[in-house]
Chain A
Amino acid sequence: MNLAYFLSILVFSPLLGVLVLSFLPRTQESLIKTVGFLATLPALVLSLIAYFQDRAGAGLEQLNEKVSWIQFGDSGQLGNLFSIDYELGLDGFSLIMIVLTAVLSTLAAIASIHIKKEWKGYFMLFLLLEVGMLGVFAAENLILFFIFFEITLIPTFFLIGKWGYYEKENAAYSFLIYNGLGSAVLLIVIMVLFARTGTANIDALMAAMNADNPQLVAPISENMKMGMLIALLIAFGVKLPIFPLHSWMVRVHVQAPPSIVMLHAGVLLKIGAFGLIRFGMGIFPEQFQSLAVWLAVLGVVNLLYGAFLAFVQTDFKMVLAYSSISHMGIVLIGLGALNEAGIQGAIFQVVSHGLIAALLFFLVGVFYERFQTSSIQNLGGLAKGMPITAGFLLAGAMASLGLPGMSGFVSEFMAFLGLFKEMPILAASGTIGIIMTAVYLLRAVLGITYGKAHRDFAGITDMKKFEFVPVLVLVGLIVLIGVYPSVLSEPLTSTLETIMLGIGG
């Protein structure tokens, strides 16, 4: 296998679909949908190849790419300083995120069959969004990371604003402004680092920031480092979202079309966690340690706040939105624990919640398509009319509340294990959240499946053939991770070692 440009091809392969789509007439609905779906496949295949190559011990370093890209100032005078390379690379963590992105993109493309209008524009933006998401995880330097990060912003804005529900434009604007501010803060940190060290490469930065006598262009004080870490926390906190910064995310979850929410909840929110682990922990390990307690506290707050609000919602989409906030609390708890179990739990939770949220939102799409509602009350008695859908809904809820044997259990268990070692009291209060999770999910799901029927289910078809594909794949992956966590933990070993080395654990 020729590995030159493997990652570039992987990341930019959806663009091929954009190109083909631009030549199609916009009325050819089924053709456009097929092309849109097919265009997500190359990335999926390539990412799986990378995954299995890695499992076979081929080593991910051989995939690294580096081409010199921008040189600011005079290279003769400045040498390598202030140059930005186009560099892509993978480690275990980003490999997993790329596989997750590719899988969810393909499944979301299937879910996009429910899209009702302007398929051409929809799929072009959809594929552009996929490029952005894949690029974020493959980027080896901060500027490239930021570029891909921003590239996800624009298509998402349009996808929400044009194809969403009733209050779509408000949701799109609030998405844009919150995330715009988040990335503004992120950009400040990136530029300060770049201007002061002369490099944006993540590994070089890690080395430069943690060396005893670093070679810097301009000094960076300890306070500045702390300031930058807090800024990173805010930037990625908007994305994740962390408690006071979450309101945009609820709106997006409710207003965006389900196929986009699958990607949004499944991948886009995870960029926040990815960034915190990769940059927060990687570049500022010392400062991260002193903030760990606060992270854990924020995590418990997120967990409880999300859980209690999810409990009182009457709309299933709202339940899921707050449930996402609550589950992201577990990521923070794991990070706050700052030991191997905790961090591993956080990463597991990132993947696991990505799959579960995608599954549940796909199901929302399935019954929204049939009933034009996602209100728990209005959907009551679903088990009678659509037994299969109802069954999968129950399975998704079980995974989400952390039933042993499914992925949610593994991640929550590890995150809490980590926290109990470090801060038992905080962890104990966090467990209330776990109980609440079971309560609100069962309330909502049982309300839908076995609740009092308000409608006649005659003439409603249960899941169609194509709808089985995403559901089965997702449930399969959730169970696979649940019973055989090594599929995730083994690729992560080296990443975790690096992180633990950095924070001196």
Chain B
Amino acid sequence: MDLETLLSYEWGIMTPEFIILGVATALSLMDLFMPKSQSRKILGWVGFAGILAALVSLLGLIGHGPESILFDTFRLDSFAKAFKLLLLIGSAMVLLIAIGYEPNEGLEEFRGEFFYLFMAALLGAMIMSSSGDLITLFVGLELLSISSYILAGMRKRNLHSNESAMKYVINGSIATAITLFGMSYVYGLTGTTNLKEMSGFLTSIYNEQHIYLLGLAFFMIVVGLSFKLAAAPFHMWAPDVYQGAPTPVTAFLSVVSKTAGFIIVIRILFSIFANAPSGDVQGLPMILALQDYIAFLAGATMITGNLIALRQRNIKRLFAYSSIAQAGYLLVVIASMSLFMFDTLWFYLGAYLFMNLGAFAIIQHVTHKSGSEDISQFAGLYRRAPFLAIAMAIFLLSLAGIPGTAGFIGKLNIFMGALVPNEGHYVLVSIMIATTVVSYFYYFGVMVQMFFRPAADTGKVKIPAALTAVIGTSLAATILFGIVPNIAFDFLQGNFNQFTDFFQ
């Protein structure tokens, strides 16, 4: 590749990624050269400003038509734009939570790493959402994963944090290996790593053995990625990792990393398998023929997540299972494959981002002072800090899908998508609704603590500004999208045109 071709690319579409990369580099250098005594919090604010700048540049690109550069490895389509928006907003809020993070044993000397690793992880996730090639997808995935492994172990003198990092590395690597193995079959069949070329090639395979091989690849990829999504039965790592990791990292894993997981699932499954034949008599495409397996995964995830959450006393473990359950709801969207799929997924991930990050900001604040993460720490919160208690209640109600909140509209959307196809997914919808009712038990359990139980400690709670910003934004968004969801839907319709350019 000569310089001329290099310059002929429209690099402008990568501006958000460049900004994040630049800020991450700058942060690591600043951390290196800043005197030890100086507080690293300033780095957090720089990172935050960087994300905002990337957000602005992304908004500037929204009107930009679909475009791909670097031999179609990097593409900017509606899907990439819409989901990058979620990743950036999510990361900005996680960064604010991290700025307000004060663990007992102190984090001062590592705080700098904390921030630039977040930026690196975010960069990985963004690359994934824009990938048009298995190689870039995989590089993005690894960048995200490896940064997350380090982040999970950031409390270096805390036993749980170390355990968490260790478990995450081992489980994550195995999952990655399985995914990669699956990808290698597809590569072997098609001789290319480019998603578009693959999909074109795969429409014309007729050999029974090849189709069988492709099916095998499908399963391996799905299994590997299920680890990332923490979908049952591959969810075992999540509770331990979520519990041990520093709270901002838990928040990051449960929201940004999960969003990235769904991004890669959509990219791979719907690019590679959407046009491949399944070999059955009706000539269904492979993705439809294997729909039931995703449905099974969704059902199992919802049931496992919600049922095990009932027994949790540790709030972070509780939220780990809750986020497993939420991943199950999101898998229902993928399993139903309706014409609303992208909209629904985007809206629910957005709603989930706000409600979950808001809840994590409060969890961090309530648990870090006492050092205990038992849900009894929430006892009497309404007495001590009415605003926090009411905000938390609204996040929990939204997670439980109660009307008036964004979570409800998201669920409504999911149900609709699942029931629209001619053979509606009744079983899946029934499981989803029934497990939602089960989830009332544990979400309301936290509320019972906050509102009914007397407080052990009657001291007033003072909230740092960064956390207030996160809680306030999340609260506003959760209620706003619950009452006038059309703001979001109009935005989707107006700017992303039904995501039709995903398949082009």
Binding site for B on A (CB under 8 A): 68-75, 77, 82, 121, 143, 146-148, 150-151, 153-154, 157-158, 161-162, 169, 173, 176-177, 180-181, 184-185, 187-188, 191-192, 194-196, 217-219
Complex: how many Å from CA A69 to CA B340? 18
Interchain residue pairs A-B with the least CB separation, the first 7: A195-B419, A147-B403, A191-B415, A180-B437, A184-B433, A150-B403, A195-B420
Q: In the complex, how many angstroms separate the beta carbon of B440 from the nearest chain A beta carbon?
A: 5
- Interface residues on chain B, size class: 35 or more
Check A161 against B437 for contact (C-beta < 8 Å): no
Query: Hey, which chain B residues are within 8 Å of A173, CB to CB?
Result: 441, 444
Q: In the complex, how many angstroms separate the beta carbon of A412 from the nearest chain B beta carbon?
A: 36
Check B448 against A169 for contact (C-beta < 8 Å): yes
B397 at the interface (CB under 8 A from A): yes
Check A154 against B402 for contact (C-beta < 8 Å): yes
Q: In the complex, how many angstroms separate the beta carbon of B78 from the nearest chain A beta carbon?
A: 13
Q: In the complex, how many angstroms separate the beta carbon of A318 from the nearest chain B beta carbon?
A: 25
Query: Hey, which chain B residues are within 8 Å of A195, CB to CB?
Result: 415-416, 418-420, 424
B412 at the interface (CB under 8 A from A): yes
Check B416 against A180 for contact (C-beta < 8 Å): no
Q: In the complex, how many angstroms separate the beta carbon of A184 from the nearest chain B beta carbon?
A: 4
Known: A150-B403, A218-B424. 7 other contacts (CB 8 A): A74-B493, A147-B403, A151-B403, A192-B419, A195-B415, A195-B418, A195-B424
B454 at the interface (CB under 8 A from A): no
Return the contact of B452 from the options A69, A71, A162, A218 (Cβ within 8 A). Answer: A162
Q: Mark B434-449, 1 if CB is under 8 A from A, else 0.
A: 1011001100100010
Q: Tell me the dominant secondary structure on chain B's binding face.
A: helix
Query: Hey, which chain A residues are within 8 Å of B340, CB to CB?
Result: 72-73
Q: Which residue of A lies closest to B429 (CB)?
A: A188
Q: State whether A147 and B404 are in contact (beta carbons under 8 Å apart), knowing that A69-B486, A72-B416 are contacts in the complex.
A: yes
Check B429 against A70 for contact (C-beta < 8 Å): no
Check B415 against A157 for contact (C-beta < 8 Å): no
Query: Hey, which chain A residues are within 8 Å of B409, CB to CB?
Result: 70
Check B402 against A157 for contact (C-beta < 8 Å): no
Q: Mark B446-487, 1 if CB is under 8 A from A, else 0.
A: 001001100000000000000000000000000000001110
Q: Which residue of A lies closest to B500 (CB)?
A: A74
Complex: how many Å from CA A176 to CA B439? 11
Check B485 against A70 for contact (C-beta < 8 Å): yes
Query: Hey, which chain B residues are within 8 Å of A161, CB to CB?
Result: 448, 452
Check B444 against A176 for contact (C-beta < 8 Å): yes
Check B452 against A169 for contact (C-beta < 8 Å): yes
Q: What are 20 A-B contacts defined by CB distance under 8 Å?
A: A68-B486, A70-B485, A71-B490, A72-B340, A73-B339, A74-B498, A121-B451, A143-B412, A157-B444, A173-B444, A176-B444, A185-B433, A191-B419, A195-B416, A196-B419, A196-B420, A217-B420, A218-B420, A218-B422, A219-B422
Q: Which residue of A lies closest to B414 (CB)?
A: A191
Check A154 against B489 for contact (C-beta < 8 Å): no
Q: In the complex, how many angstroms separate the beta carbon of A67 from the nearest chain B beta carbon?
A: 11
Q: In the complex, how many angstroms separate the beta carbon of B318 from the nearest chain A beta carbon?
A: 17
Q: In the complex, how many angstroms separate the beta carbon of B407 from the nearest chain A beta carbon?
A: 12
Check B433 against A71 for contact (C-beta < 8 Å): no
**Interface of chain B residues 370 through 419 with chain A (CB within 8 A):** 382, 397, 402-404, 408-409, 412-413, 415-416, 418-419
Check A158 against B451 for contact (C-beta < 8 Å): yes
Query: Hey, which chain A residues are within 8 Å of B452, CB to CB?
Result: 161-162, 169
Complex: how many Å from CA A147 to CA B444? 19
Binding site for A on B (CB under 8 A): 339-340, 343, 382, 397, 402-404, 408-409, 412-413, 415-416, 418-422, 424, 426, 429-430, 433-434, 436-437, 440-441, 444, 448, 451-452, 484-486, 489-490, 493, 498
Complex: how many Å from CA A177 to CA B415? 21
Check A146 against B486 for contact (C-beta < 8 Å): no
Check A188 against B433 for contact (C-beta < 8 Å): yes
Complex: how many Å from CA A55 to CA B53? 63
Query: Hey, which chain A residues are within 8 Å of B490, CB to CB?
Result: 71
Complex: how many Å from CA A161 to CA B441? 14
Check B486 against A154 for contact (C-beta < 8 Å): no
Q: In the complex, how many angstroms separate the beta carbon of A166 from the nearest chain B beta carbon?
A: 14
Complex: how many Å from CA A148 to CA B421? 28
Query: Hey, which chain B residues are within 8 Å of A143, CB to CB?
Result: 412
Q: Which residue of B lies closest to A194 (CB)?
A: B416
Complex: how many Å from CA A283 to CA B108? 65
Query: Hey, which chain B residues are within 8 Å of A218, CB to CB?
Result: 420-422, 424
Complex: how many Å from CA A318 to CA B361? 45
Check B440 against A177 for contact (C-beta < 8 Å): yes
Query: Hey, which chain A residues are within 8 Å of B451, CB to CB?
Result: 121, 158, 162
Complex: how many Å from CA A121 to CA B402? 20
Query: Hey, which chain B residues are within 8 Å of A176, CB to CB?
Result: 440, 444
Q: In the complex, how many angstroms separate the beta carbon of A193 from the nearest chain B beta carbon?
A: 9
Check A184 against B403 for contact (C-beta < 8 Å): no
Complex: how many Å from CA A143 to CA B343? 19
Query: Hey, which chain B residues are within 8 Å of A187, CB to CB?
Result: 415, 433
Check B397 against A154 for contact (C-beta < 8 Å): yes
